């Protein structure tokens, strides 16, 4: 430092670390989208963060056939019905792979002809009159109409010889039916090394610095293989983060509520970080997977509670006016039937008091696992959210010297945060400690330190009882 003479003002790190703000319920949604209809097409197998319905449609397109284009269902529900944002969408439908060749003879009427298919990949279009290949922008103009059909218009002065000419269009059609559960599951491309499908859960945080909160694959999560990979991923995102998988039980094959628990157990829908949903719900003519609307309910409930996931989504309103099977058959569960499903770790829809509600507090692990932190959805989410927040808040301290200042910084900061949660009744109480018995000398020498957080989020009041008794003592009021 050399010779010093005068007044100096060094600084030390603040002893209290403000927590990083972590979104509790960011949905990461996997599926298929009509990207050939998009104005600004998003890449295939690429996470895309969207804050508005228009933004999503611009990058993924939109089509009302949700069986083919599963991401469109979530767009409509989350943005239009629940008014929630943001969402990370990942489309696995690849127009360069999932396609088939087609051609059509067209007769122009008043210089215009239409290919009545919404699956035409317009960039692949070749138009001929006889043996002459026509030139786009010179001989004809082609564009999608509001239905997604391709309209071919004759350009005056071009090579098309008559207003009522016959032409032939050859093109590729996008083929969503070629997408399989294997595309949703994904993996690592052996040729490029790129992540695909559900493997891209790990790409969300590096892309956007946002931690996934909900993993959704409506239209696919009723496949046990897809659900198994979803539940595996939510337990180990980026090797450190946790989330919740929203999965469906198929209503095309499981049509009676009494058959649902057996299917759930036979297909291993039993993870602590999994919600198993049955049946579907409908609003007007639209039918939604219950997992889709469950995501909306979860996010809306969080938003009403300062983005802290301590409140159960159960008994909160769905955007629905009915429940049904895949074929549209109406399903009406009374309270006892709905409670039977809840007791088997299944979340359902109930129309009882106050309209159609999401009904059920339990994760799919229940009843085999009754530990409150694993069996109750809000408690499971609180533990995961708190853990995700701890990781991001104190990541800045990794590789700092293992000394008393570091330990006190973490203990003091966390206890202040937990005391604040207690005061706001997000938890009933909490504290963090640095215990000697959990930190052996050999670990401390090796740079390993362990803290222990004690925390009690409130259980949802799933049963409220009021005992009524006839009290004869009040008969004396007759003689007053």
Q: For the chain, which residues make up each domain, given as ranges?
A: 27-91+179-378, 99-174, 400-480
Number of CB atoms found within 10 A of residue 355's CB: 11
Which residue shows structure tokens 């999994």?
Answer: 274
- On average, the pLDDT of the chain sits at 94
For 195-224, write each residue's pLDDT tens digit: 999 999 999 999 999 999 999 999 999 999
Half-sphere exposure of 99 (CA within 13 A, CB side): 17
Could you give the strand order of the β-sheet that contains 112-115, starting from the edge strand earlier in sequence? Answer: 112-115, 150-154, 140-144
For 282-339, write each residue's pLDDT tens digit: 999 999 999 999 999 999 999 999 999 999 999 999 999 999 999 999 999 999 999 9
Residues in the chain: 480
Position 377 pLDDT exceeds 60: yes
CB 234 within 8 A of CB 381: no
> Out of 2.60.40, 3.40.50, 1.10.10, 3.30.70, which CATH number does the structure's domain 27-91+179-378 have?
3.40.50
Of the pLDDT bands very low, low, confident and very high (cuts 50, 70, 90), residue 189 is confident
Q: Which helix (H) or strand (E) is 282 found in, with range?
A: strand 280-283
C-alpha 225/C-alpha 232 separation (Å) is: 11
For 235-291, write each residue's pLDDT tens digit: 999 999 999 999 999 999 999 999 999 999 999 999 999 999 999 999 999 999 999
pTM surpassing 0.85?
yes
Pairing of strands 316-317, 356-359: antiparallel
Of the pLDDT bands very low, low, confident and very high (cuts 50, 70, 90), residue 7 is low
Q: For 316-374, what is the HEC assignment?
A: EECCCCEEECCCCCECCCCHHHHHHHHCCCEEEEEECCCCEEEECCECCCCCCCCCHHH
C-alpha 75/C-alpha 85 separation (Å) is: 10
Picking from 154-158, 429-433, 456-460, which range would have the lowest pLDDT averaged per residue? Answer: 154-158
């Amino acid at each position: 430092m050399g010779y010093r003479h005068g007044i100096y003002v060094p600084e030390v790190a603040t002893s209290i670390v403000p927590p990083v703000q972590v979104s509790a319920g960011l949905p990461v949604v996997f599926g298929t989208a009509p990207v050939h209809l998009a104005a600004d097409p998003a890449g295939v197998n690429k996470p895309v963060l969207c804050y508005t319905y228009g933004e999503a449609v611009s990058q993924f397109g939109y089509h009302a056939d949700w069986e083919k284009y599963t991401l469109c269902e979530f767009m409509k529900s989350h943005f239009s019905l629940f008014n929630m944002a943001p969402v990370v969408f990942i489309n696995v439908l690849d127009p360069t792979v999932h396609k088939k060749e087609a051609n059509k003879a067209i007769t122009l009427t008043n210089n215009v002809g239409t290919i009545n298919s919404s699956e035409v990949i317009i960039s692949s279009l070749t138009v001929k009159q006889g043996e002459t290949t026509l030139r786009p922008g010179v001989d004809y103009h082609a564009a999608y109409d509001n239905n997604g059909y391709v309209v071919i218009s004759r350009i005056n002065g071009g090579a098309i010889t008559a207003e009522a000419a016959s032409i032939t269009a050859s093109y590729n059609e996008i083929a969503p039916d070629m997408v399989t559960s294997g595309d949703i599951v994904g993996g690592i491309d052996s040729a490029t090394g790129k992540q695909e499908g559900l493997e891209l859960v790990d790409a969300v945080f590096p892309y956007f610095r946002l931690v996934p909160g909900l993993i959704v694959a409506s239209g696919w999560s009723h496949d046990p293989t897809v659900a198994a990979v979803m539940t595996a991923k939510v337990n180990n995102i980026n090797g450190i983060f946790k989330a919740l998988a929203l999965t469906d039980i198929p209503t095309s094959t499981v049509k009676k509520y009494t058959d649902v628990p057996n299917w759930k157990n036979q297909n291993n829908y039993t993870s602590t970080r999994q919600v198993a949903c049955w049946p579907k719900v409908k609003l007007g003519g639209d039918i939604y997977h219950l997992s889709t609307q469950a995501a909306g309910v979860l996010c809306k409930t969080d938003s009403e509670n300062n983005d802290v996931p301590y409140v159960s989504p159960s008994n909160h309103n769905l955007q629905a006016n009915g429940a049904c099977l895949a074929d549209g058959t109406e399903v009406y569960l009374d309270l006892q039937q709905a409670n039977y499903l809840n007791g088997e770790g299944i979340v359902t829809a109930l129309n009882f008091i106050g309209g159609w509600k999401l009904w059920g507090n339990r994760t799919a692990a229940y009843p085999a696992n009754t530990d409150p932190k694993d069996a109750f959805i809000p408690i499971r989410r609180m533990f995961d959210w708190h853990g995700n927040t701890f990781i991001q808040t104190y990541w800045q301290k990794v590789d700092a010297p293992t000394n008393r200042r570091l330990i006190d910084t973490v203990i003091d900061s966390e206890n202040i945060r937990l005391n604040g949660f207690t005061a706001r009744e997000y938890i009933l109480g909490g504290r963090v400690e640095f215990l000697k018995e959990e930190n052996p000398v050999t670990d401390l020498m090796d740079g390993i330190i362990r803290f222990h957080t004690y925390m009690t989020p409130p259980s949802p009041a799933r049963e409220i009882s009021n005992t009524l008794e006839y009290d004869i003592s009040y008969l004396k009021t007759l003689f007053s």
